Amino acid sequence: MAARLPLPVRRSVALTEAAHDRLRALNARYGLSNNYLLVVLLEHLDDYADADRLDAAFDAFIATYGAPGKG
């Protein structure tokens, strides 16, 4: 039997419809819950994301929507 990954940190996450649609598609493909999908995506980001393209995506997002203040 496969080991169960403990997820001790619980957070409420707000998503756009497009982001939620992508999570649902990944769930249909891999059969993982949204929590596990986000763990895989974030913990292994450097394995599959091109750093320059990721920087460009964040820069474009911040240019459009701004970044919230800290604190």
- Please indicate, yes or no, if residue 24 is contained in any of the structural domains: yes
- Please indicate, yes or no, if residue 12 is contained in any of the structural domains: no
Report the domain count for the chain.
1
Q: What is the pLDDT along the chain (71 residues), one digit of tens a residue?
A: 778 888 888 888 899 999 999 999 999 999 999 999 999 999 999 999 999 999 999 999 999 999 887 75
pTM over 0.75: yes
How many whole angstroms separate alpha carbon 42 and alpha carbon 9?
14
- Phi and psi, residue 35, nearest 5°: -60, -50
How many whole angstroms separate alpha carbon 15 and alpha carbon 49?
20
How many whole angstroms separate alpha carbon 41 and alpha carbon 15?
15
**Domain span holding position 38:** 17-65
Kindly state the tokens that stand for 40.
């895989």
How many whole angstroms separate alpha carbon 39 and alpha carbon 16?
18
- Please indicate, yes or no, if residue 41 is contained in any of the structural domains: yes
